Amino acid sequence: MLSKRIEKALNDQIRIEAESSQIYLAMACWAEVKGLEGVAGFMYSQSDEEREHMLKLIKFVNERGGHAHISALKAPNVTFKSFKEMFEKLFEHEVFVSESINNLVHISLEEKDYATHNFLQWYVSEQIEEEAVARTILDKINMIGNDKGGLYLFDRDIEQITVNTAASNNLP
């Protein structure tokens, strides 16, 4: 059984994950109308992934005797000065999500809810990867600078960008 404090914190995270999905969806739309099909495809995929994160939380809350709530969402930003600014906003948002997950982990330990703590470890690892991917993309964008040819290649190749993080390695 979830404590009311944990249930509220998990419901707050459900909203954050839903907003994350909407943010990526807005970025996908912006990129698509700018002719950046690769970036748009990447963002659509990320939006779907964030929705899956939300659903995973919803099911967990309900399975543990809580009641998952679907709440109103903040409207995401729908315009950007550049694709670089868009990815900077994405990175800032992923850092915010990581902080929120870390706070949830802290609450689960304070409440001595080890089942929730264990469940949240997947999100901790996922956020390490999300931040690393965003950082890698920003590094590539900075290398490109204002080179249109570089932007073309980046747009073509973005869906292949992966990051091998320490969290995804099974090294001792």
Q: Which residues are annotated as a binding site?
A: 17, 50, 53, 94, 127
Q: How far is CA 62 from CA 50, 68, 81, 120, in A?
A: 19, 6, 41, 15
Handedness of CA 22, 24, 28, 31 (dihedral sign): positive
8 Å CB contact between 108 and 102: no
8 Å CB contact between 103 and 9: yes
- Enumerate the known binding-site residues for Fe cation: 17, 50, 53, 94, 127
Q: What is the DSSP code (8-state) at residue 129? A: H
Half-sphere exposure of 94 (CA within 13 A, CB side): 25
